[in-house]
């Protein structure tokens, strides 16, 4: 697999965000990780953490409504853009299959595939509601990475986070499969982002007239998609998983994949 | 469309994950089950649920006294803030914190709450005379000199320290300064006064 311009751009963006998380606290500009961020007086909180805290304490936390809504609003429009361009775990997992030489996916699944993640998300939320087990450190992979880095920079200690991160990579490698297994079938944070991306402003759409799948059984876009979206037949629900990596758009041999913004291509 | 088999498979997967999480939550915490929290921490029963592990408190602490709990502190408490006096004591009571309590001021969920200095007690320090240099006949009054609280440590006539648990605020300054190896002092969360969580 050769690494295209957009892949390189995504890796650079993710690295830059790591750098911002590491450097900003030194100048007192921004504190925290993607679990919760504060710029002094202005705070934002991730929807997964908001849900876990509210269910774990069985209370609506009034002070978190605005910080939570800001993030939810961004997600409604941009969906899993975060997973494709910012989350360091996702990008590392995507590249890890170069090293492990995974087999490319041969067949394609039904539209219902990858939907076990909704059951997992519900189980995670139920655990905090039923037996008060809220462990955001387990369920928010980007938070783990940023926390490990800021903890190491400020204290010089590597905490328990590295073990959890290793666990994610082991889970992903065990499921020997093309693409980002953790992201498309397990990640609770990614799933909550998926289910919130109702508007999903930017998404690829296959132009059925141009697509040569019918004649030549191409399916290049579906094979290359790291989130394993059945692009040629995808409905809006399936497209909610799209992390805007633009691989399908870049690699279509007949340029049948168009980028649709607000329903217009 | 969704076949019944696929639907049942997904439901079974969710139930299995819930079961695994229940089992994980039942893993007993190790010997160091009680954790000394930063000042302003809410009641034990709510703390783990309220803390989102964002790491803001450990970044803003001016003396870097807040460290993250590990697996030995219990599976539900991993990455929550704690005070490990052996690494760095909480300097809130010495005024090096500039009396502002940045950790609780910045906490986004209210797991750490702003509280009055007089109402804070992180835990209690206990003395093991078998390890204390003063009790072994050497001259050492370091703990008494470092203690930010009046009358928490008093000296007997022959300069041996006596700890008063009711006055001690549990900041751990004495432990950090104790020259004995291994340390003669231990900090536990015994008698800790937590902040009341206002919903």
> Residue range A63-77: average pLDDT?
93
Specify if B199 maps to a domain: no
A35 with B54: Cβ contact below 8 A: yes
Q: How confident is the model at residue A192 (pLDDT cuts 50, 70, 90)?
A: very high
* SS3 call for A128: helix
Asked if B10 and A116 come within 8 Å (Cβ–Cβ), the reply is: yes
**Per-residue pLDDT, A71:** 95
The rounded distance, in Å, linking the Cα atoms of B119 and B134 is 31
Mean pLDDT score of chain A: 84
- Is A7 a residue whose pLDDT tops 70? yes
Contact A32 B75 (CB under 8 A): no
Which range, of A103-107, B19-23, B102-106, averages the lowest pLDDT?
A103-107
Q: CA B98, B100, B102, B104: dihedral to nearest 10 degrees?
A: 140
DSSP states of A209-227 as a string?
Answer: TT--HHHH---HHHHH-TT
pLDDT value of residue B33: 53
A171 neighbors A219 (Cβ within 8 angstroms): no
Contact across the interface for A154 and B64, Cβ inside 8 Å: yes
Nearest chain A Cα distance for residue B154, angstroms: 33
Percent of chain A residues topping a pLDDT of 70: 88
Mean pLDDT of A55-77: 92
Cα separation, A40 vs A62, whole angstroms: 19
Residue B108 included in any domain: yes
Indicate whether A213 pLDDT > 90. no
Asked whether residue B164 is domain-assigned, the answer is yes
> In this structure, what token pair is assigned to residue A213?
């799948």
Pairs across A and B, CB distance < 8 A: 152
What is the tally of structural domains in chain B? 1
Minimum CA–CA partner of B46 in chain A: A57
pLDDT at B81 over 90: yes
B19 inside domain = no
Query: Does residue B163 lie within any of the structural domains?
Result: yes
| Number of other CB atoms surrounding residue A7 within 10 Å | 18
Q: Do A242 and A227 contact (CB within 8 A), yes or no?
A: yes
Provide the residue range defining the domain that includes B124: 29-188
B122 in any annotated domain: yes
**Residue B170 reports pLDDT greater than 80:** yes
Identify the CA nearest to B105 among candidates B117, B95, B115: B115
Chain B neighbors of A136, CB-CB under 8 A: 52-53
pLDDT of residue A107: 45
Closest by Cβ to A33, choosing from B7, B18, B54: B54
C-alpha torsion B48→A82→A67→B51, nearest 10: 10
- For residue A177, the model assigns a pLDDT of 63
Section A148-168 average pLDDT? 87
Model pTM above 0.95: no
Strands (E), chain A: 31-32, 36-38, 43-45, 202-206, 257-261
B198: nearest CA in chain A? A61
Does residue B1 form part of some domain? Answer: no
Mean pLDDT of A230-257: 87
Q: Which of A48-62, A203-217, B75-89, B154-168 has the lowest mean pLDDT?
A: A203-217
Is it the case that residue A158 has pLDDT exceeding 60?
yes
A172-176, A252-256, B15-19 — which is least confidently predicted?
A172-176
ipTM of the complex: 0.87
Distance CA B122, CA B168 (A): 9
Question: Given pLDDT bands bounded at 50, 70 and 90, which one contains residue A16?
Answer: very high
- Which CATH number fits the domain that encloses residue B78? 3.30.70.20
Distance from CA of B45 to the nearest CA of A (A): 9
Query: pLDDT value at position A101?
Result: 52
Closest Cα in chain A, distance from residue B111 (Å): 10
pLDDT digits (tens, 9 = 90+) for A75-118: 999 999 999 999 998 888 887 766 655 555 544 444 556 778 88
Residue B6 located in a structural domain: no
Give yes or no for B58 touching A (CB within 8 A): yes
List the Cα angle B126/B67/A133 in 5-degree steps: 95
């Amino acid at each position: 697999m050769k690494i295209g311009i957009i892949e390189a751009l995504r890796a650079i963006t993710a690295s830059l965000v790591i750098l911002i998380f590491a450097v900003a606290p030194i100048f007192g500009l921004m504190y925290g990780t993607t679990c919760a961020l504060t710029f002094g007086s202005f705070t934002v909180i991730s929807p997964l953490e908001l849900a876990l805290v509210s269910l774990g304490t069985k209370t609506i936390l009034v002070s978190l409504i605005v910080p939570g809504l800001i993030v939810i609003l961004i997600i409604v429009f941009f969906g899993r853009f975060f997973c494709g361009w910012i989350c360091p775990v996702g990008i590392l997992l995507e590249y890890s299959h170069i090293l492990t030489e995974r087999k490319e996916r041969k067949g394609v699944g039904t539209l219902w595939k990858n939907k076990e993640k909704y059951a997992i998300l519900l189980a995670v939320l139920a655990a905090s509601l039923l037996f008060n087990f809220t462990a955001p450190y387990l369920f928010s992979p980007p938070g783990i990475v940023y926390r490990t880095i800021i903890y190491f920079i400020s204290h010089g200690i590597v905490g328990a986070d590295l073990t959890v991160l290793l666990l994610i990579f082991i889970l992903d490698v065990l499921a020997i499969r093309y693409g980002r297994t953790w992201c498309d079938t397990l990640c609770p944070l990614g799933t909550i982002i998926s289910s919130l991306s109702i508007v999903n402003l930017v998404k690829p759409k296959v132009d059925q007239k141009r697509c040569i799948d019918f004649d030549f059984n191409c399916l290049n876009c579906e094979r290359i998609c790291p989130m394993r979206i059945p692009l040629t037949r995808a409905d809006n629900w399936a497209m909610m998983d799209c992390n805007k990596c633009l691989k399908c758009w870049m690699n279509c041999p007949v340029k049948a994949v168009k980028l649709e913004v607000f329903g217009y291509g | 469309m969704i076949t019944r088999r696929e639907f049942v498979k997904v439901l079974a997967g969710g139930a299995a994950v819930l079961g695994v999480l229940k089992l994980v939550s039942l893993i007993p915490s190790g010997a160091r089950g009680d954790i000394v929290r930063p000042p302003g921490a809410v009641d034990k029963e709510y703390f783990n649920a309220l803390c989102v592990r964002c790491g803001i408190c450990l970044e803003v602490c001016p003396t870097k006294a807040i460290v993250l709990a590990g697996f030995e502190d219990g599976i539900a408490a991993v990455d929550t803030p704690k005070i490990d006096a052996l690494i760095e004591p909480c300097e809130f009571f010495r005024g090096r914190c500039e009396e502002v309590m940045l950790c609780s001021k910045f906490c986004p969920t209210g797991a750490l709450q702003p509280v009055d200095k007089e109402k804070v007690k992180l835990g209690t320090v206990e003395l093991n005379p078998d390890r204390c240099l003063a009790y072994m006949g050497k001259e050492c009054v370091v703990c008494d000199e470092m203690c930010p609280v009046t009358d928490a440590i008093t000296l007997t006539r022959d300069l041996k320290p006596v700890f008063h648990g009711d006055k001690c605020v549990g900041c751990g300054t004495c432990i950090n300064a104790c020259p004995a190896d291994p340390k003669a002092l231990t900090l536990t969360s015994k008698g800790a006064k937590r902040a009341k969580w206002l919903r």
